[in-house]
Amino acid sequence: EPSDTSEAQVSGAQVIAQALKTQGVDYMFGIVGIPVTEIAFAAQELGIRYIGMRNEQAACYAASAIGYLTGRPGVCLVVSGPGLIHALGGMANANMNCWPLLVIGGSSERNQETMGAFQEFPQVEACRLYSKFSARPASVEAIPSVIEKAVRSSIYGRPGACYVDIPADFVNLLVNVNSIKYTECCMSPPVSMAETSAVRMAASVIRNAKQPLLIIGKGAAYARAEENIRKLVEQCKLPFLPTPMGKGVVPDNHPNCVGAARSRALQFADVIVLLGARLNWILHFGLPPRYRPDVKFIQVDICAEELGNNVRPAVTLLGDINAVTKQLLEEFDKIPWHYPPESKWWETLREKMKSSKAASQELASKKSLPMNYYTVFYHVQEQLPRDCFIVSEGANTMDIGRTVLQNYLPRHRLDAGTFGTMGVGLGFAIAAAVLAKDRSPGQRVICVEGDSAFGFSGMEVETICRYNLPIILLVVNNNGIYQGFDTDTWKEMVKSQDATIVAPPACLLPNSHYEQVMIAFGGKGYFVQTPEELQKSLTQTLADTTKPSLINIMIEPKATRKAQDFHWLTSSKM
């Protein structure tokens, strides 16, 4: 040990860990291996929580959820070549969702580049398409400033994914402590406000609306604008519609929430204020027949390039949603106004909500077995703790579940999102559960999965059990993708011919006991076929906080959604 501190040395791995710590990074998900193992050890040593996962894709989903939930990027640490490539799915998903994320990838040694080195791949180039910043530090000394830039880029402007490439020869390289200067923690993102004249114009368009609607998107959730948006809703008495992950910014059970009249609200609104939601497929592009041709959009977004996409907006408010909502509130303070609660518009919306809730309730009360989706979700909703995270993916499972399961808190719903990604559920659930464990012990994560969706990252059940995370997995099992077959039909089908020839592409093995996966790693598993069994297993698992659990819920293989006004994805072009 040199006594003179000027001769003390640090490794590249330690420099990376210290740089991350300095930038306020608290969570790292990944899989260790050559050449990044030492980075994980160094991070853990500095108090960064390291969660070892089973596939880089799930690790990357988990890290991105940390970014959405905390506003500070989580790190996904991966090995070179295939490790990095597995993580691209997570990067793409984060970038599409506008969620901050920092991927750190080991790469082959610089002096073997182009020689066919172990797991050699053009990683910085590969990540460019999936991120807003992708770079390799020129030296170990340059690591802190590149990491600062990556963290800053991930949260400034429209949030997104960033990549930092670490050549293998940096990791164990020893450098003099004094040669490293740690760049100070980047400042919080600057808050931008909309032009005053545009705010005034927006307020005037809203005042003159006959059938107004606020749409609350996941950008509003990310912006932590819940307090001001709620004020706007209540002060102006406006109907609001949350997008899937905008649910909970204002609670779903708020009297002004018109979620149950979604299609109707979109179709007949004459003024729509978009708070952090893009007019993409989720909102049917803002076009007829799903909207009036003369609807006036007021777009609020932090990203200027988003404004005017697919429609010509009446007013654009470029700025941070929280700040802009406050600006709008100030306008309505100057000249108080609220929308009349006894209007024809409210009547139309309330009527539609009543009838659509009645239709779901009727399906839910069906006593036939196997159960349908509505029966399952009504029983789940009855027992859901109010403060739980709801993670959900699957086709019908996610779509129907969203209409029945209520969110009362902002940033407590995570699902397939803008990119429609299947396989995100377990990674998201793990991230939410790690946060819950740290920040509000006792809080649960309910992860509602279709049987197909569960399969994408099913081995992460081991991760869940290893860290004993407060997760309850519900697998809504219809033996297939979209729809499956019952056991008898399946047996008949494969009796005389090989399954690889006759099995329909959408079917999965009927009657699969997914709960055994949880039992294999020491968690609790339940196989349920009736409403009574479902109720009982939910009660038990909610009471038992010592172990994760999985409830495998068998439903009718041909169960579907209730009748819809519009076919899914209907646009003017179809």
- Judged by CB under 6 A, the chain residues 362 through 421 that form the site for ligand ADP are 418
CB 339 within 8 A of CB 236: yes
The binding track of 144-163 with respect to ligand ADP, each residue x by CB under 6 A or -, is --------------x-----
Q: Which is nearer to Mg ion, 299 or 392 (CB)?
A: 392
Task: Using the rule CB under 5 A, give the single segment among 70-78, 261-269, 448-456, 526-534 that binds Mg ion.
Answer: 448-456
Stretch near ligand ADP under the rule CB under 6 A, chosen from 84-92, 142-150, 274-282, 385-393:
274-282
Q: Does 557 bind ligand ADP (CB under 6 A)?
A: no
Q: Which one, of 272, 315, 312, lies nearest residue 291 by Cα?
A: 272
Should residue 254 be labelled a site residue for ligand ADP when binding is judged by CB under 6 A? Answer: no
In angstroms, rounded to a whole number, what is the distance separating the alpha carbons of residues 525 and 548? 9
Asked if residue 222 binds ligand ADP (CB under 6 A), the reply is: yes
Q: What would the x/- binding string for ligand ADP be over residues 225 to 244, using CB under 6 A? A: ------------------x-
Q: Does 219 bind ligand ADP (CB under 6 A)?
A: yes
Q: Is 450 in the site for Mg ion (CB under 5 A)?
A: yes
Ranges of H-type helices in 320-424:
321-334, 344-364, 373-383, 396-404
The amino acid sitting at 472 is I
Cβ 275 vs Cβ 323: under 8 Å: no
Candidates 49, 86, 149, 218; binder of ligand ADP (CB under 6 A) is 218
Composition of the chain by helix, strand, coil, percent to 5:
45, 15, 40
Among 16, 31, 194, 223, binds ligand ADP (CB under 6 A): 223
CB of residue 276 vs ligand ADP: minimum separation in angstroms?
3
* 477: phi then psi, degrees, rounded to nearest 5: -105, 105
Using the rule CB under 5 A, is 123 a contact of Mg ion? no
193 binds ligand ADP (CB under 6 A): no
Work out what residue 451 binds among Mg ion, ligand ADP, none; the CB cut-off runs from 5 to 8 Å by kind: Mg ion
Cα–Cα distance, 310 to 292 (Å, whole number): 14
Closest-CA residue to 390 (of 417, 424, 413): 413
Interacting partner of 450 out of Mg ion, ligand ADP, none (Cβ under 5 to 8 A depending on kind) = Mg ion
Q: Which of 16, 229, 321, 447 binds ligand ADP (CB under 6 A)?
A: 321
User: Quick check: 246 binds ligand ADP (CB under 6 A)?
Assistant: yes
Q: Which of 243, 316, 452, 552 binds Mg ion (CB under 5 A)?
A: 452
Which burial class, exposed, middle or buried, applies to 419 when counting CB atoms under 10 A from its CB (0-12, 13-18, 19+)? Answer: middle
CB distance 209 to 238 below 8 Å: no
Residues 6+ apart with CB under 8 A from 159: 67, 98, 99, 100, 222
Residue 377, helix vs strand vs coil: helix
Among 177, 282, 409, 519, binds ligand ADP (CB under 6 A): 282
At 296 the three-state DSSP class reads: strand
302 binds ligand ADP (CB under 6 A): yes
Q: Which is nearer to Mg ion, 451 or 556 (CB)?
A: 451
Q: How far apart are CA 29 and CA 58, in angstroms?
A: 9
Q: Where are the beta strands (DSSP E) in 249-314?
A: 271-275, 296-301
Residue 12 interaction partner, one of ligand ADP, Mg ion, none, beta carbon < 5-8 Å per kind: none
Q: 50 or 454: whose CB is closer to Mg ion?
A: 454
Binding region for ligand ADP (CB under 6 A): 97-98, 158, 217-219, 222-223, 243, 245-246, 276-278, 280, 282, 301-303, 306, 320-321, 418
